[in-house]
Amino acid sequence: MIGGRRRRRYFALVALVAARAGAQSSAFELPSECGSEAEFRERLGALAGVDATRAMPSSLVIAADDTGGFRLTLGLGGETRVLAHTDCRVLFRSALVIAATTANPELELEGLPAEPAPTVPAPVPAPASTAASPPERPASKPKTERSPGIPVQGSLAAGVGIGVGIVPKAAPVFELRAAAHFGRWAAALSGQYLLPAVATSEGRSVDIQGAGARLTGRVTPHRLVALSLGVEADWLHGHGSTGISSPTNDSAWTVAPLAEVALVPWQSRHFSFEIAALGRVALLRPVFEVTGYGTVYEVPRWGFVGSARAAWHFP
């Protein structure tokens, strides 16, 4: 009788250790800005109203994909679900919804995003077993389903660079940009200022500075590359200096379509840094002349701006 009790206690202890090891074997891999296993466990217990250990998925992996967004792979109830979205926090909350409603199908959820449509449905059959096991309850969808839609973000950026082919010679350029982002696409409005540069011809000089605006459409085919097309209008102001007996001021506009390639070597949820190369073709080419002498400076047909900019993204 004593030996029988000891054996029963031993087997009960082994079963308890095995159950705890199985509960802790779930695989969680996700970027820090998306969430954490501790946050998931805490919110799941509060949301589902059950023991979070029993409701935890067997695996939850969120990783960046080739489209510039994120992909969620969720193992739950003997099945694997694969969801995609541009915002990893949406995927994190969707995993919470799926796990909570699987553990408690009668749960009423409001204020949480609906589960995004799966991009790669991949059911995984349960492993064969010689022992009979109770049937698993299929995951139920939230009763309130709303499409997450296309996320809209804003950004503000500041940059500095060198411009050639707008004012004379190479001149420093300062830029401020505001943009609205719709997934991979964006529309941007920029303002720029070019420091004064001197154009000289046979002892006569004109100081020319510029300020302008740029309207562009932007697409991000890869998270490291952004392409832009648009149009730019610059107001150039010239002032006669050396070799001119009666210096005067004059101004004119130049308009040019443009194309830009930007590399984004570093980005986080709220900040990014990029290096850009812009080419422009002037359609309006103003000429600065000295009366009685002739042309001192004419805006070139081709122009180039190389710059580096930092951006803040919100919300």
Q: Is the pLDDT of residue 264 over 80?
A: yes
Q: Which tokens hold the place of 183?
A: 């997934």
Q: Is the pLDDT of residue 114 over 80?
A: no
More confident position, 6 or 202: 202
**DSSP class of residue 56?**
-
The Cα–Cα gap between 54 and 151 comes to 33
Q: Which of 43-47, 115-119, 169-173, 268-272 has the lowest mean pLDDT?
A: 115-119
Most confident of 149-163, 212-226, 239-253: 212-226
pLDDT per residue as tens digits for the range 70-107: 988 988 878 888 999 888 899 999 988 888 888 777 77
Q: What is the pLDDT of residue 108?
A: 62
Going from the C-alpha of 39 to that of each of 35, 45, 142, the distances in angstroms are 7, 10, 21
Q: Is the pLDDT of residue 9 over 60?
A: no
Q: What is the pLDDT of residue 7?
A: 53
Q: In the chain, what percentage of residues exceed pLDDT 90? A: 43
Q: Is the pLDDT of residue 60 over 50?
A: yes
- Find tokens 């802790």 and name the residue: 24
111 Ramachandran zone, left/alpha/beta (phi>0; psi -120 to 50)? left
Specify whether domain 152-314 bears CATH 3.30.70.3040: no
Angle at 43 between CA 95 and CA 56, to 5 degrees: 55
Q: What mean pLDDT value characterizes the chain?
A: 81
Q: Which tokens hold the place of 268?
A: 């986080």
Q: What is the pLDDT of residue 15?
A: 44
Q: What is the pLDDT of residue 58?
A: 85
- Find tokens 């009763």 and name the residue: 143
More confident position, 7 or 189: 189
pLDDT per residue as tens digits for the range 28-46: 888 888 888 888 888 887 8
Q: What is the pLDDT of residue 259?
A: 98
Q: Which of 232, 202, 204 is nearest to 216 (CA)?
A: 232
Q: Which of 48-52, 112-116, 243-247, 285-289 has the lowest mean pLDDT?
A: 112-116
Considering the entire predicted model, what is its pTM?
0.55
Q: What is the pLDDT of residue 68?
A: 81
In sequence order, the 6+-apart residues with CB closer than 8 A to the CB of 66 are 222
List the chain domain ranges.
1-149, 152-314
Q: Is the pLDDT of residue 258 over 70?
A: yes
Q: What is the pLDDT of residue 233?
A: 97
Average pLDDT of span 281-285: 97
Q: What is the pLDDT of residue 38?
A: 86
